[in-house]
Amino acid sequence: MDILRLKALLGAGCFSFALIGSVHAGGFSRGTADTDIIFEDGNFNMRTSVTYVAPTRKYSVNPLNPYLVGVNYSDAYAVPSAAVKFKLTDNLSCAGTMTESYGGDASWPRSSGPLGKLSENFTMYEYGVTCGVKYDLSKGRVWFLGGIYDEVTNYSLDAGAALGSNFAPLNVRLNDSNVGWRAGVAYEIPEIALRAQLMYRSGVSIKASGEANTFAPTNPPTPITVPATGDAKFPQSVEFKAQTGVAPGWLAYGSVKWTNWSVTKQLNLQVPAIGLNNGNDYFWRDGWTVTGGIGHKFNDWLSGTVFATWDRGVSTGWDLTGASYTLGTGVSMKDKMGGELRFGVAAVYLASVSETQYSNYPVGGGNFANINRSVDGGWGYALSGGYSFKW
């Protein structure tokens, strides 16, 4: 094989393109820390990117709020990623990384659900440091990886709209910060662009606090600001990634990721001053995400890749988080300054899914009703752009 071609292709960041397929995977998954930069040649490396995702989720059935049928409630969002690597010795490198690991964004033109939601979103930004120690073997080399991260959570809710809601207007803002860790091992033979890696990432427990703005039940209603809290568990994960040269200038790669979403049963919100103890019910199953792709170096300055991702979905009938299918492509272009521009695009299909757990929901007066909702399958898209350089 042409060793130089394969090494160049290895640096094209095929896996960074394939991450487009995981930014709308099961649960609240968005970005993954770019710890692969540790394997790159160079004393100093920098890689940045942003991925814009526009999903489509339209209600086909909504008994409680029939005026929302046909409405796309899933908001577009952007996922940033940044990584900087320093080679400290011949056998030790460390990287600082930043990304949005989890998130959710939804909005409705009229009040939705018993609480009368108009918008609800949260972000979890991860800031981490990961180091890798390399040992040369008789053939190839092995890496031991480990690091810590701080996950910063921000949550907001606007609810209680007058249309179709019995609740006073309510605005909630919460935040939290938690520390987690990751550890992994990798084996590589650079001469044939072969690498296999197993990485574990710990979960975190969110106990957010903040305040709620609402109205006291006086006549006339009086604006008040009161304490609010929220809690949830977020999952651990294990990911196996592998790549290898398969012909001169060609690279095959793939990954399998398990995410322990079954620990995420509810996102709970408490506002004691107004007697509010509300929860988004999920009771998810564990998630599996599978990605595969092929990369090719066309010449000394242009490389490309195509990839596909399948995520089986995590819904168990309590919510509307179904399976997804992604097909994408990307190109990498080296510039005259020694940097590398990367652009990617992907089509995302989100499968139809229905709730099944709300067939006997209490609606007052001792009455019960079926308020299970459904969403149609729908297409979305993702666009990604990034830049990297090394010296």
Average of per-residue pLDDT values in the chain: 90
pLDDT band (50, 70, 90) for residue 4: very low
What is the arithmetic mean of pLDDT over 249-263? 96
Q: What is the 3-state secondary structure (H, E, C) of the chain?
A: CCHHHHHHHHCCCHHHHHHHHHCCCCCCECCCCCHHHHHCCCCEEEEEEEEEEECCCEEEECCCCHHHCCCECECCEEEEEEEEEEEEECCEEEEEEEEEEEEEEEEEEEEECCCCEEEEEEEEEEEEEEEEEEEECCCCEEEEEEEEEEEEEEEEEEECCCCCCCCCCEEEEEEEEEEEEEEEEEEEEHHHCEEEEEEEECCEEEEEEEEEEEEECCCCCEEEEEEEEEEEEECCEEEEEEEEEEECCEEEEEEEEEECHHHCCEEEEEEHHHCEEEEEECCCCCEEEEEEEEEEECCCCEEEEEEEEEECCCCCCCCCCCCEEEEEEEEEEECCCCEEEEEEEEEEEECCEECCCCCCEEEECCEEECCCCEECCEEEEEEEEEEEEEC
Amino acid 160: pLDDT: 80
Of 102, 138, 162, nearest to 284 by C-alpha is: 102
Amino acid 361: pLDDT: 79
Q: What would the pLDDT profile of 218-240 be if each residue is shown by its tens digit?
A: 788 889 999 999 999 999 999 99
Measured between alpha carbons, how far is 145 from 94 in angstroms, rounded to an integer? 9
Amino acid 308: pLDDT: 96
Amino acid 8: pLDDT: 43
pLDDT band (50, 70, 90) for residue 1: very low
Amino acid 338: pLDDT: 81
Percent of the chain having pLDDT more than 70? 91
Residue of 274 and 355 predicted with greater confidence: 355
Amino acid 18: pLDDT: 62
Q: Is the per-residue pLDDT at 5 higher than 50?
A: no
The Cβ of residue 267 has, within 10 Å, a number of other Cβ atoms equal to 22
pLDDT band (50, 70, 90) for residue 368: confident
What is the arithmetic mean of pLDDT over 293-297? 94
Amino acid 16: pLDDT: 63
Q: Is the per-residue pLDDT at 15 higher than 70?
A: no
Amino acid 177: pLDDT: 97
Q: What would the pLDDT profile of 136-178 be if each residue is shown by its tens digit?
A: 999 999 999 999 999 999 999 999 865 544 568 899 999 999 9
Tell me the sheet residues that pair with 112: 117
Q: Is the per-residue pLDDT at 10 higher than 60?
A: no
Residue 226's alpha-carbon distances to 80, 162, 172, 177, 217, in angstroms, are: 33, 21, 10, 21, 14
Q: What would the pLDDT profile of 323-333 be if each residue is shown by its tens digit?
A: 999 999 999 99
Task: Say which residues have a Cβ less than 8 Å from residue 136's Cβ, sequence separation at least 6.
Answer: none
The pTM assigned to this predicted structure is 0.92
